[in-house]
Structure 1
Amino acid sequence: MDNWRKSSYSGPGDGNECVEMSTTPTHTAVRDSKAPTRAILTFPAGAFGAFVGALKSSRSASPR
């Protein structure tokens, strides 16, 4: 995975506290932008979409 990119939400100030993503037609990889040479999580393409959907769902269901 060579083409790493940060979220568009990574602005000045907290741009160093973000994850980076790299995609291929079959996989999505995620790494910590502060430690890019450390562990990388790799998901099959369909599983990553389900993972993000579950995060969004659990976030909206959490009491604030």
Structure 2
Amino acid sequence: MTPEVIGPYIKSSYSGQNNNCLEIAATSDGGRAVRDSKNPDGPSLRFTGTEWHAFLRGVERGAFDD
């Protein structure tokens, strides 16, 4: 069963006004849903809370830097 999106989708304040970004919302299982701001009615990617926190730890540690 796919967890329900329970919060509004939020776009980063760093995104600007060109709608070329991702939006993130909380889900009912403590995870996050991610969608393309250009296609709000399209599909979203779903991550469990554990997956989302692992991603954030990777960002903080520079795992995705060039």
Number of aligned positions between the proteins: 58
Which protein has the bigger strand share?
1
Q: In 1, Cα distance between the equivalents of 2:44 and 2:25? A: 10
Does 2:64 align with 1:58? yes
- TM-score computed with the length of structure 2 as normaliser: 0.70
Give 5+ residue unaligned stretches, structure 1.
none
CA-CA distance at 1:43 after TM superposition: 0.4
Percent sequence identity over aligned pairs: 36
Which protein has the bigger helix share?
1
Q: Over the residues paired in the alignment, what is the CA RMSD in angstroms? A: 1.9
4+ residue runs of structure 1 moved beyond 4 angstroms? Answer: none
Give 5+ residue unaligned stretches, structure 2.
none
| Residue of structure 2 in register with 1:17 after alignment | 20
- TM-score computed with the length of structure 1 as normaliser: 0.71
CA-CA distance at 1:38 after TM superposition: 1.1
| Residue of structure 1 in register with 2:10 after alignment | 5
Q: Deviations over 1:7-30 (max 9, x none)?
A: 121123x3x101000014611000
